[in-house]
Structure 1
Amino acid sequence: MLILTSPTIEGKKIIEHHGLVTGDALLGANLYKDLFSGVRDVVGGRTSKYEEELTTARNLAIESMEEKAAKQGANAIIGTRVSYHNLGGTMGNTIMVTVTGTAVTYQES
């Protein structure tokens, strides 16, 4: 499935708009990752474990959105946006990754 951030598909004709599709994934940070991250921040460097977890969460959210679009008969998603939300408070250090886009069918030539 074609997934784009642009509102159109260059050189292709969109023949049907199916509507909004979304995907979400939660990333919970545990105490050990938090401690390791703090040490890395003090001594410098990147917290690669967090980056890996964010990538995994983003990919899960995209897969979820893609499945919903496919169920609607779409072959592409346009206008895709990724957002990250810190769900602090009672959720601890939980980050939610949300992906949204418009499911469409474009004419394959």
Structure 2
Amino acid sequence: MLTTSSHLEGYRVTEHIDIVSAECVFGMNVFKDMFAGVRDFFGGRNKSSQNALRDARIACLDELKEEAAQMGANAVIGIDLDYSEISGGGKSMLFLVATGTAVKVSKV
């Protein structure tokens, strides 16, 4: 179970294990970057960038779950997601870090 909250409704934290984090870096396709620039110029939503952000979030949260499970946790609370863009040399990368607290919870 994953939550940005400090608790899970209907569950009690029985053990705080440790802080967990997952870092994901995704290359943005040059064509996506080019069309994003066009979209920025004319306005509107950029579907390819939105999809890349969603895919990055899902992948990073999956890695966070895996790390927590390897520590013996059955939940991660207090999750924070931080997005950044790294660009240079004509290339653009999306950098996402997910952090949280791995815990054991039991049903109340």
Aligned to 2:77: 78
Matches within 5 A, 1:1-109: 2-89=1-88, 92-109=91-108
Which protein is richer in strand relative to its size? Answer: 2
Q: CA deviation at 1:48?
A: 0.6
Q: CA deviation at 1:91?
A: 8.9
For 1:36, the aligned partner's letter is: F
Contact kept? 1:6, 1:80, Cα under 8 Å:
yes
Instruction: Please give the root-mean-square deviation of Cα atoms over the aligned residues, in Å.
Output: 1.7
Q: CA deviation at 1:89?
A: 4.0
Count of aligned positions: 108
Q: CA deviation at 1:107?
A: 1.3
Structure 1 stretches of at least 4 aligned residues deviating more than 4 Å after TM superposition: none
Give unpaired runs (5+ residues) of structure 2: none
Change (3 A) 1:20 1:90: farther
Contact kept? 2:20, 2:64, Cα under 8 Å:
yes
TM-score when normalising by structure 2:
0.89
Identity across the alignment (%)? 35
In 2, the alpha carbon distance for the partners of 1:90 and 1:105 equals 45
